[in-house]
Amino acid sequence: MRARQPDRQGHTVQAGVRLHWELYGEGERTLFFLPPWSIIHSRHWKFQVAALARHCRVLVMDGRGNGLSDHPLDPDAYTDEGFAADALAVMDDTNTATAALVSLSAGARWALLLAAEHPERVTAAVFIAPAVPLAPWNPFRLAATALFDQEQEEYVDWMKYNANYWLRDHRGFLEFLFGRAFPEPHSSKPIEDTVSWGLDTTPEVLIATARHVLSQQATTELSRRVSCPVLVIHGDADEIVLHENGAALAGLTGGRLLTMEESGHCPHVRDPVAVNLALREFLLPTSAPSTRRRAVRRRRRALYVSSPIGLGHARRDVAIAQELRQLVPDLEIDWLAQDPVTRVLQAHGERIHPLSQELASESQHIELESSSHHLHVFEAWRRMDEILLSNFMVFLDAVRKREYDLWIGDEAWEVDYYLHENPELKQAAYVWLTDFVGWLPMPAHGERDIALTADYNAEMIEQVERFPRLRDRAIFIGRPEDVVPGTFGPGLPEMRAWTERHYEFTGGYILGLNHQAIFDRGELRRRLGYRDDDVVCIASVGGSGVGAELLGRLMKAFPTARRRVPGLRMVAVAGPRVDVGTLPSVKGVEVRGFVPDLNLHLAACDVALTQGGLSTTMELTAARRPFLYFPLRDHCEQNFHVRHRLNRYRAGRCMDFDEATPSNIAHAIETLVAQPVEYREVETGTAARAAKLIAELL
């Protein structure tokens, strides 16, 4: 899923070639992100588009040869002048009178042509890793270019920059080139992305594009004619185009050079926050605030970011916030949150930050990644990178527009990751909350899953150990024993020992309901509309919206279960993101949508059927209610972290989705209702303990 869909899109025909373009946002100023070499298309700007379209009009296009634009094979169709003419035609077609240009690599030559020859159309120009021949681009690449059309006995390193090799092993060249483009550690995702985008074109197209490049003399003359403001962004670890090239361009244009130390060829991908901020500062400067209040005279304020993946975070976060206000009575709390979390917050009268409406939907992304009770949650999270970056930029705007004494993130992955990547942005005390630590590979996915999860865990470990000052409090919601045994991956630390060194513990799970406050369960049942002789079965699949198929299967088991359990009454709770209309119609099953006080219904029921989420299962454990749970396939948190914790409490019975026939579900319900529970007691006072740890920072 994209962080933002285009507001308009279309095609422009220029010299007989259809060119795809997309427009985002609105405003007087337009940023035009030019296409680079035809080896990739406009999706490589994914970390910039949504973040900047909130502040101005953003135009992108697929260059000829890739994406949704035409792929001509004629070498004469790929001249630098032709690409510049394409960009100008798209500007005309989209009523873009003027624009600030942002280019990458080969796109710098087209930006240079536009800025020099059409100065009335270009308000500013940003060149990222400009592939303009002002200094030796790369001696190894230049040597290979001289032999571009010659067959070689073997193709090693830059000798792969060869027409014959491209025809023989297109993917091999892409993997080589983008491996060099991203020398930064832990770059598996951008390499994976760019290789897949490279496969959207053909080696024949790439060969055609390699025939025409501006000369050094022409480039020098064009550079001296540029009159608009110029910013050059170049990594000093760039292995594709040497940093000296960017420095030379900045010098000739009278522009400013921003050197990205230790960055490679694509800093807009590997350092997107820093690049986005540089683009905004240079292209979209804002005026300084007109007022400032003395810090000691401000009320204490906290910004709370609660993960939208399920509703458990919202319920426990509200519990923490209520306890926190008891300890810090003058505390104001703003919530940066999205559906379905906002429904819980609104039900409790909490104040939602207005920028919350700018957040890209993480829940919708998770739903689109799921299928048939299946969610490879680690891969879904990897593919959510664009959304997470966009949402971090929203967070950054929120904390820059209003002063906060404290930031709290409950599994706010975007906040934690990008703060560690950009620690200089921290300007308040910061608390990180989570109930699991570490990605775990799913056995069915083999060596690739093992390698990728280990790499992501290694990056997290490096961040935390390099910047221990960044998290003022890292709070694990639970006990040390709730951390799964084993290591973070081959050669990495043991998970429980590492977590004990870097986290403080609440001593148990944080519930949305104080179960000790329910002195009379019978009275609770009557208040909720359940009769004394009802055998109440709650079927619930959480708030993420991925459980529709499971809920339908549980509902279809009701007639069989009713024959086994006289008086059985099933209430199917669809939650906030499952369309009730898509569920099967089963006589006798009561279907409800979003139930704000679902935890009360769980405490009142006789048996529950649920997905494998931690919050619902721990609410049932604390209420000592029998339950059957069905972890999503390939969901490492539900299959390992949650299951480990439930086993520690001796709570619930796990059933594989494939075994969830009406007969098996009915038999399980009958058995669970007949047997008393023997769970370990769930600790109380955990929300207050978490609040105490947080309040110390205020």
Q: What is the pLDDT of residues 374-424, one digit of tens each?
A: 999 999 999 999 999 999 999 999 999 999 999 999 999 999 999 999 999
In terms of DSSP H, where are the helices of 565-658? 598-604, 614-622, 636, 643-648
pLDDT tier, 547 (very low <50, low <70, confident <90, very high otherwise):
confident
> C-alpha distances in angstroms, 360 versus 25, 55, 384, 389?
14, 15, 10, 10
Which of 597 and 679 is assigned the larger pLDDT?
A: 679
Q: How far apart are CA 27 and CA 52, in angstroms?
A: 11
CATH number of 295-511+689-695: 3.40.50.2000
Q: What is the mean pLDDT of residues 142-167?
A: 92
Domain positions in the chain are 8-137+215-283, 139-209, 295-511+689-695, 519-674
Q: Which has more confidence, 542 or 36?
A: 36
Q: What is the mean pLDDT of residues 340-351?
A: 93
The correct CATH number of 519-674 out of 3.40.50.300, 3.40.470.10, 3.30.1330.50, 3.40.50.2000 is: 3.40.50.2000
Euclidean distance between CA atoms 9 and 23, whole angstroms: 6
Q: Is the pLDDT of residue 622 over 90?
A: yes
**513: Cβ contacts below 8 Å, ≥ 6 apart:** 315, 599, 600, 603, 619, 622
Q: Tell me the pLDDT band of 257, cut-offs 50, 70 and 90.
A: very high
277-302: average pLDDT: 89
Mean pLDDT of the chain: 95
pLDDT tens digits, residue range 106-147?
999 999 999 999 999 999 999 999 999 998 777 888 888 889
- CA–CA distance, 438 with 296 (Å, rounded to integer): 39
What kind of architecture, by CATH, is found in domain 8-137+215-283? 3-Layer(aba) Sandwich (3.40)
Contact by Cβ (8 Å): 129, 48:
no
Confidence tier at 518 by pLDDT (50, 70, 90): low
At residue 611, the 3 state secondary structure works out as: strand
Q: What is the pLDDT of residue 515?
A: 56
3-class SS of residue 651: coil
Question: How do residues 573-587 score in pLDDT, each as one tens digit?
Answer: 998 888 898 999 999
Give the model confidence (pLDDT) of 587-613 as tens digits. Answer: 999 999 989 888 899 999 999 999 999
Q: Measured at the alpha carbon of residue 651, what is the angle toward residues 625 and 347, in degrees to the nearest 5?
A: 55
CA of residue 336 relative to chain centroid, distance? 15
**Which tops the pLDDT comparison, 9 or 139?**
9
Q: Tell which residue, 14, 569, 49, 463, has the closest CA to residue 269.
A: 49
What is the reported pLDDT for 211?
83
Residue 519 confidence class, pLDDT cut points 50, 70, 90: low
* Segment among 285-294, 592-601, 613-622 with least mean pLDDT: 285-294
Is the pLDDT at 458 greater than 90, yes or no? yes
List the beta bridge partners of residue 33. Answer: 60, 102
pLDDT at 491 > cutoff 90:
yes
Q: How far apart are CA 436 and CA 484, in angstroms?
A: 9
pLDDT the model gives residue 144: 82
Q: pLDDT by residue (tens digit) across 629-671?
A: 999 999 999 999 999 999 999 999 999 999 999 999 999 999 9
Instruction: Of 23, 18, 30, 28, give the one whose Cα is nearest residue 71.
Output: 18
pLDDT in tens, 269-279: 999 999 999 99
pLDDT tens readout for residues 318-340: 999 999 999 999 999 999 999 98
Contact call for residues 174 and 284 (beta carbons, < 8 A): no
Question: Which residues, 6 or more positions from 439, have their beta carbon under 8 angstroms from its beta carbon?
Answer: 378, 453, 456, 457, 636
The three-state (H, E, C) secondary structure of 80-100, written as one string: HHHHHHHHHHHHHHCCCCCEE
The residue written with tokens 């006289």 in the block is 566
- Predicted confidence at residue 666, as pLDDT, reads 97
Q: For position 514, what pLDDT does the model report?
A: 62
Q: What percent of the chain has pLDDT over 70?
A: 99
Please state the rounded mean pLDDT for residues 206-233.
94
Contact 49, 33 (CB under 8 A): yes
Please count the residues of the chain: 698
pLDDT of residue 517: 57
pLDDT class of 292 with cuts at 50, 70, 90: confident
Flag whether pLDDT at 516 surpasses 90: no
Tell me: pLDDT of 459 over 80.
yes
